[in-house]
C-alpha cells in the first residue's frame, strides 16, 4: 500500500494511532464542534437528516446527535477499522445512525447517501484534504447536490499555511497539545512521532481562502471561514433556500 495515499487510513495501526493518540489532542477541537453546532442551530429548524463524510469513529456525528437526538445520520468512511470504531461508539445509543463504507475519491460514493438525502447538514472532519484540489472541488459540488435547500455544509479541516513560518507555528501549537496529552513521553518522542506519522504524506493542503472561493463558485451562500487557528479551520456555506 503506497504510504502517500489516503489508503493508509484503512490500516488498524493508523486508525488507532489517530483515535487513541491524536484526536483528543487537536487544538481547539471543542471550539470547532461548538462553532459547528452553533451554525447548525442557527438554521432555525432542527437538523433532521445529516451526513458525516470521512466520519472516522463518528466524533462529529456524536456531537450532532447529542444536540439533535431525533436526527437521522449517515456516516461515510472507507476504513473498516474506523467504521468499526463508529459502530462501537453508537452501539448502546438509540440514535438513527447508518454507517456506510464508501470512497469519496470517486463520484460513486454518492450512491451510499443519495437515497437518504436530501440532507439538512453535511459535515466533514479533517478528511477531504487527502484529495487533490480538483477532486476537492468536485466533492464540494457533489455535497451541494445532496443538500436540501437551506442546508449547510461545514468542513472542520486541515488547511494550508500561508508560509513555512506560519506552518512552524501550527506545528508548535499541535506539538504543545500532543505533549500535554502524552504525559509519559518526552517532547523529542512526541516530535518524532508527529513528523513521521504515516498519514502526513497523504495530506494535500489547500488555503482556506481558495476553498471558500470554490464554494462560492459552486453556488453556496454565507460562505466563510467561521473559525481558524493556523492550519485548523471551520469553513463552509449554505445551499440557497431557492436552489434545486
Ligand atoms: C483524520 S481522520 C478524521 C476522522 C473524523 N472525521 C474526526 O473528526 O475525527 C480522516 C478520516 O477520513 C477517512 N477518509 C480519508 N479518505 C477517505 C476517502 N477517500 N473516502 C472515505 N473516507 C476517507 C479516513 O478513513 C479517516 O477515518
Cross-sheet strand order for the sheet of 221-229: 96-101, 72-77, 49-53, 119-125, 147-158, 232-238, 221-229
Where is pLDDT greater, at 43 or 157? 157
Identify the band that residue 1 occupies on the pLDDT scale cut at 50, 70 and 90: very low
Which residue among 4, 79, 203, 232 is best mutated to probe the pocket of ligand 1, counting the most ligand atoms within 8 A of its Cβ? 79
Q: What is the pLDDT of residues 75-97, one digit of tens each?
A: 999 999 999 999 999 999 999 99
100: pLDDT strictly greater than 80: yes
Q: What is the mean pLDDT of residues 143-171?
A: 97
Average pLDDT value for the chain:
94
**CA–CA distance, 177 with 221 (Å, rounded to integer):** 34
Identify any residues that bridge with 235 across adjacent strands, giving them in sequence order: 155, 225
Centre of ligand 1 to C-alpha 227, Å, is 21
Residues of the chain with pLDDT > 90, as a percent, come to 91
Burial class (CB in 10 A: 0-12, 13-18, 19+), 186: exposed
pLDDT in tens, 121-142: 999 999 999 999 999 999 999 9
Q: Is the confidence at residue 45, as pLDDT, over 80? A: no
Write down the pLDDT at residue 240: 95
Q: Where exactly are the structural domains of the chain?
A: 6-238
CATH (one of 3.40.190.10, 3.40.50.720, 3.40.50.150, 3.40.30.10) for 6-238:
3.40.50.150
pLDDT on residue 244: 74
Cell numbers standing for residue 207? 488555503
Distance 127 CA to ligand 1 centre (A): 5
Predicted local confidence at residue 3, as pLDDT = 44
Pull the grid cell for residue 203: 495530506
Residues 6+ apart with CB under 8 A from 94: none
Cα within 13 Å of Cα(217), Cβ side: 10
> What does DSSP assign to residue 195?
H
Question: For position 4, what pLDDT does the model report?
Answer: 53
Of the pLDDT bands very low, low, confident and very high (cuts 50, 70, 90), residue 2 is: very low
Q: With 0.75 as the threshold, say if the pTM is over it.
A: yes
CA distance linking residue 165 with residue 171, whole number of Å: 10
Candidate from 1, 9, 52 with most ligand 1 atoms within 8 A of CB, to mutate? 9
pLDDT of residue 6: 87
Q: Which residues line ligand 1 (CB under 6 A)?
A: 6, 9, 18, 23, 54-56, 59-60, 77-79, 82, 103-105, 125-127, 130
CB-based contact 31:40 (threshold 8 Å): no
Amino acid at each position: 500500500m503506497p504510504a502517500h495515499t489516503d489508503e493508509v487510513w484503512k490500516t488498524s495501526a493508523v486508525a488507532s494511532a489517530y483515535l487513541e493518540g491524536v484526536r483528543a489532542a487537536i487544538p481547539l477541537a471543542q471550539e470547532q464542534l461548538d462553532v459547528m453546532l452553533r451554525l447548525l442551530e442557527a438554521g432555525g429548524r432542527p437538523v433532521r437528516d445529516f451526513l458525516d463524510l470521512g466520519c472516522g469513529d463518528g466524533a462529529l456525528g456524536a456531537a450532532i446527535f447529542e444536540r439533535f437526538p431525533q436526527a437521522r445520520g449517515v456516516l461515510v468512511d472507507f476504513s473498516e477499522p474506523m467504521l468499526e470504531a463508529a459502530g462501537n461508539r453508537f452501539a448502546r445509543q438509540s440514535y438513527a445512525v447508518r454507517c456506510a463504507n464508501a470512497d469519496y475519491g470517486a463520484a460513486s460514493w454518492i450512491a451510499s447517501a443519495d437515497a437518504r438525502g436530501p440532507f439538512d447538514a453535511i459535515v466533514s472532519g479533517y478528511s477531504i484534504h487527502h484529495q487533490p484540489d480538483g477532486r476537492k472541488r468536485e466533492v464540494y459540488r457533489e455535497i451541494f447536490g445532496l443538500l436540501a435547500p437551506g442546508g449547510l455544509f461545514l468542513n472542520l479541516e486541515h488547511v494550508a499555511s500561508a508560509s513555512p513560518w506560519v506552518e512552524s507555528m501550527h506545528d508548535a501549537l499541535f506539538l504543545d497539545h500532543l505533549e500535554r496529552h502524552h504525559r509519559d513521553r518526552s517532547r523529542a518522542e512526541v516530535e518524532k512521532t508527529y513528523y513521521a506519522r504515516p498519514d502526513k504524506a497523504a495530506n494535500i493542503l489547500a488555503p482556506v481562502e481558495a476553498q471558500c472561493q470554490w464554494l462560492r463558485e459552486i453556488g453556496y451562500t454565507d460562505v466563510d471561514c467561521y473559525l481558524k487557528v493556523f492550519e485548523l479551520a471551520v469553513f463552509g456555506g449554505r445551499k440557497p433556500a431557492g436552489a434545486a
